[in-house]
Amino acid sequence: MIDTNVYLERWPFRRLTADDSEQLVATLKALGITQAWAGSFDGLFHRDIGGVNERLSQKCRESDDGFLIPFGTVNPTLPDWEDDLRRIDEEFQMPGIRLHPAYHGYMLDDSRFAELLRFANDRSLAVQLVVGMEDERTQHTLHRIPSVDLSPLKAVLKEVGGTQIMILNAFRSVSVAQAVELTLDTSIHFDIAMLEGIAGAGKLIESLPAERIVFGTHAPLFYPDSAILKLIESGLPEAILLKLKAENAANWLANR
Amino acid sequence: MNHPLHAKFGIWDLHCHLLGIPGRTPEEKMAGLLEIADRHQIERLCLFFSSTWAKNPTADELRTDNDYVIQAMSHWSDRVLGFCYVSPEHVEASLDEVERCVVNGPMVGIKLWVAQRADAGELDAIIDKASKAKAVIFQHTWFKQDGTQTPGESTPLHLAALARRFPDTHFICGHAGGQWELGIRAIRGLPNVSVELAGSDPTAGFTEMAVRELGASRVIFGSDAAGRSFASQLAKVYGAAISDSDRQAIFRDNLRTLVLGTGKIKA
Ligand SMILES: [Zn+2]
């Protein structure tokens, strides 16, 4: 099982049971997860992104048999972000990047976003885009971050062409109808970490092609058990389960 | 596929609605909800208002909803526990509904939602009646950071004010206030208040803090299905770094003790 949505380092507003990377790996393995794609909480708040990515790379290398796969941070509002992207590719040899537009303060119609996607394409880096980290109703008073507005995304992808993109934590703010619209004429994938509603994954594949849905826990901010139990709850046939658990994520990364 | 702790615990769910479940009749929806609950081996579940999302239900809407829930429960009296929908905006009608549905009917508790805040004086007569009937008393609470709190929506502080007026009555603080770090603190000093875990994201640390600050005996599992999945809410108990005996207390035993106290079910 491939978990497309985990984080290393510390969430600033509370300590989490598995915010130590060894503990995180042990927790995920106990649930049957065999690979986890890791971003860095530090990447949301720090400006020394080179240091953030170096630590992420190091911790992923230290994890057993390549269990943790690093997805580097790029913040296109910082000077010389292009070199962070170069290092992610050439020095750290990461397969992809994870973007947090709301935390870094840009909209998707910002020309720097299109530029960033072009650079990522040139280097065959896969792109994860995070809509939000937590329920807006529960955010710290000093930390009021809106969800990312995805409405400009299709136009940007059309202009840039060919980006392999995955949307994480979409379903708090993105409706199923909007998600369906986003998948038409694109290769956009979605993870299920913030999908809600009873038997929600079953309901989702009635509208969205099963090939576009991937497993993601949002651990350690969320209890990772949640995403596992969602698959159980949805009563999906084995062939669909296999796609959601690993096949779709593996194909998505291979096709970058 | 199964969760490593699957079937290790008896599970009762404090908080379900039929709203959002497909089906033409309450019975069809109930069957649909139970079929999915079975995938997690949930033994029993409590049913809250299930026919209306009205924030300020009329007396007629309260009665109609209670009829709806009683109808939904009727085929599954061994698995489904009904909660009577009441509102401090309709005190007389609410007292009649407690008499009809709890004292003389099959329901085990009352549900208070967002019609008026829990510290409103109008609630006293309803709480007095429910308390004498030994009904389980549930109040929805949220601390909303983003400005979406509705005028009648209680925070745990409003419930705390009510619970101070009725020190011998037990109250359940629904959702633990959503922002659970605040909600748990708001009711911490009141031993007659428990928190329920339902209806928020499965944010790690919630259950651990509740157990540390309140003791496991004051923490109750609920899902808020069908709007929420069972999955994300079960994860709060399965995934927490707590003992298996605490897990069992939270998943079933604390709620069972309250429901046994109503005399409506047998041990
Ligand atoms: Zn509810």
Interface test with A, best of B201, B211, B223 (most A CBs within 10 A): B201
- Provide the residue range defining the domain that includes B201: 6-260
Burial of B53 (0-12, 13-18, 19+ CB in 10 A): exposed
Among A224, A181, A246, A176, smallest CA distance to A204 is for: A176
Q: Does B183 fall in a domain?
A: yes
- A17 pLDDT exceeds 90? no
- CATH code of the domain in which B33 resides: 3.20.20.140
Among A104, A50, A102, A101, smallest CA distance to A72 is for: A50
| Interchain CB contact of A30 with B (< 8 Å) | yes
Gap from B111 CA to chain A (nearest CA, Å): 21
Q: What is the pLDDT of residues B86-114, one digit of tens each?
A: 999 999 999 999 999 999 999 999 999 99
Alpha carbon distance A246, A4 (integer Å)? 9
Q: What is the pLDDT of residues B24-42, one digit of tens each?
A: 999 999 999 999 999 999 9
Q: Which residue of B has its CA nearest to A143?
A: B145
Domain A2-254 CATH class label:
alpha beta
- Give the residue numbers in B contacting A (CB under 8 Å), as ranges: 1-4, 6, 20-21, 33, 36, 39-40, 142, 144-146, 148, 178-179, 181, 200-205, 208, 225-232, 234-236, 238-241
Q: Quick count: other Cβ atoms within 10 Å of Cβ A238?
A: 8
pLDDT, position B1? 85
Q: Which residue of B has its CA nearest to A172?
A: B201
Contact yes or no for B236 and A223 at CB 8 A: yes
The stretch A5-31 carries a mean pLDDT of 95
pLDDT, position A132? 98
Q: Which residue of B has its CA nearest to A233?
A: B39
Q: Residue-wise pLDDT tens for chain B (267 aa)? A: 889 999 999 999 999 999 999 999 999 999 999 999 999 999 999 999 999 999 999 999 999 999 999 999 999 999 999 999 999 999 999 999 999 999 999 999 999 999 999 999 999 999 999 999 999 999 999 999 999 999 999 999 999 999 999 999 999 999 999 999 999 999 999 999 999 999 999 999 999 999 999 999 999 999 999 999 999 999 999 999 999 999 999 999 999 999 999 999 988
A–B interface: beta-carbon pairs under 8 A: 133
How many domains is chain B built from? 1
Q: How far is CA A222 from the centre of its chain?
A: 14
Q: Does B33 fall in a domain?
A: yes
Interface test with B, best of A142, A206, A226 (most B CBs within 10 A): A226
* Amino acid of residue A229: L
Q: Does B266 fall in a domain?
A: no
